[in-house]
Amino acid sequence: MSDALPGWAHLSAGKVRDLFAPDETPAGRAVRATHGDVLLVVASDRISAYDHVLSPGIPGKGVVLTALSLWWFDQLADLVPHHVVSTDVPVAVAGRAMICRRLTMYPVECVARGYLTGSGLAEYRATGEVTGIPLPTGLVDGSRLPEPIFTPATKAELGEHDENVTFEAVAALVGPAPAAALRATTLAVYRRAEDIARARGVILADTKFEFGTDAAGVLTLGDEVLTPDSSRFWPADAWQPGHAQPSFDKQFVRDWLTSPASGWDRDADAPPPVLPDEVVQRTRERYLEAYRRLTGLDLDLLP
């Protein structure tokens, strides 16, 4: 891909995104002269689940992630600055890439939960708490929490598990004041987003953010934000606590992988199977539906 991105050199590839930095060609120097210390963040169509990158990807997924992130960054700009400086990107990655200021990232996944499900539910069932926060008894899968909670996790390398940790562990890792700022900002952003989503008939059950500081030390929202990759979106009119909820996110892929239909043993060493065409298409439809419901807009993707 780097050959098709004049002025940019490939730095790294994550589960979903590729990062590029301006190179030493005239085109790269022009980027730095215009935007300063920046990165090109390219969202691929790769999809991951249970710490595996799956095959095949979901066609158009990277475009959905980028368009939805840009929409949310606009909705949240008065709460916290974001890292996007331009969408004037090379033609080869148009629609799926953003030029972003380089941040010093905090090594923490900032997770906000307004509803109990996923790893939070598993931890609650075992301990009655989530990352050290006691919760009322009698909660079930899909229960709305009395108030949103900050349940951070440490970032893991590709192929490793993120680990839920307490707020105290985050404070020991990054310092008490930055930890308090991460918690307060995470919950403020979640509450704003939850209100916006609910007004559009969508429940934002939980989500994760990544933050860093810019060159001036200002807390800044980075990576992607509030997409079906990083969030659980449920149709509000179908919400019924007590079981797994229908969703507009990659939970559909997770459910197929752990079903008898996939034949995959999550605890074994074998990689996950190839996703069937039907799973790919229905996952794509869920991502597009999330975009439509939240923004009120249609996204023009190739069939």
Q: Is the pLDDT of residue 7 over 80?
A: yes
At 299 the pLDDT is 85
Contact between 78 and 221 (Cβ < 8 Å): no
Segment 157-162 mean pLDDT: 57
At 161 the pLDDT is 63
| Segment (H or E) for 184 | helix 176-199
At 62 the pLDDT is 96
Distance CA 141, CA 187 (A): 21
Contact between 120 and 206 (Cβ < 8 Å): yes
Matching fold, domains 2-101 and 104-254: no
Contact between 150 and 167 (Cβ < 8 Å): yes
Q: In Å, what is the CA distance from 232 to each residue of 66, 75, 99?
A: 17, 18, 26
Please list, in sequence order, all residues whose beta carbon lies within 8 angstroms of the beta carbon of residue 15, skipping any fewer than 6 positions away. Answer: 46, 48, 53, 158
Distance CA 113, CA 240 (A): 17
Distance CA 262, CA 276 (A): 9
Average pLDDT of every residue of the chain = 93
| Segment (H or E) for 73 | helix 61-76
| Segment (H or E) for 121 | helix 118-127
Q: 104-254 is classed in which CATH architecture?
A: 2-Layer Sandwich (3.30)
Q: Which residue has the higher pLDDT, 256 or 3?
A: 256
Segment 119-148 mean pLDDT: 96
Distance CA 260, CA 264 (A): 8
Segment 159-182 mean pLDDT: 90
What single DSSP character describes residue 257?
A: H
Q: Is the pLDDT of residue 1 over 70?
A: no
Please list, in sequence order, all residues whose beta carbon lies within 8 angstroms of the beta carbon of residue 42, skipping any fewer than 6 positions away. Answer: 1, 17, 18, 19, 20, 62, 93, 96, 97
Please list, in sequence order, all residues whose beta carbon lies within 8 angstroms of the beta carbon of residue 219, skipping any fewer than 6 positions away. Answer: 80, 81, 178, 181, 182, 185, 211, 212, 213
Q: Is the pLDDT of residue 215 over 70?
A: yes
Segment 154-181 mean pLDDT: 85
Quick one: what percent of the chain has pLDDT higher than 90? Answer: 87
Write out pLDDT tens, residues 30-71.
999 999 999 999 999 999 988 899 999 999 999 999 999 999
Indicate the fold that domain 2-101 takes in CATH: Phosphorylase Kinase; domain 1 (3.30.200)
At 134 the pLDDT is 97
Segment 262-267 mean pLDDT: 91
At 245 the pLDDT is 94
At 298 the pLDDT is 87
Handedness of CA 116, 114, 290, 162 (dihedral sign): negative
Domain regions of the chain by residue span: 2-101, 104-254
Please calculate the CA angle 291-41-150 and round it to the nearest 5 degrees. 65
At 65 the pLDDT is 96
At 269 the pLDDT is 83
Using CB atoms within 10 A of its CB, is residue 42 exposed (0-12), middle (13-18) or buried (19+)? buried
Q: In Å, what is the CA distance from 276 to each residue of 253, 260, 267?
A: 10, 14, 21
Q: List, as one string, the DSSP characters of 13-59.
A: E-SSEEEEEE-SSHHHHHHHHHHSSEEEEEE-S--EETTEE-SS--T
At 301 the pLDDT is 67
At 250 the pLDDT is 86
Write out pLDDT tens, residues 115-125.
999 999 999 99
Q: Is the pLDDT of residue 159 over 70?
A: no
Q: Is the pLDDT of residue 144 over 90?
A: yes
Q: pLDDT band at residue 303, thresholds of 50, 70 and 90? A: very low
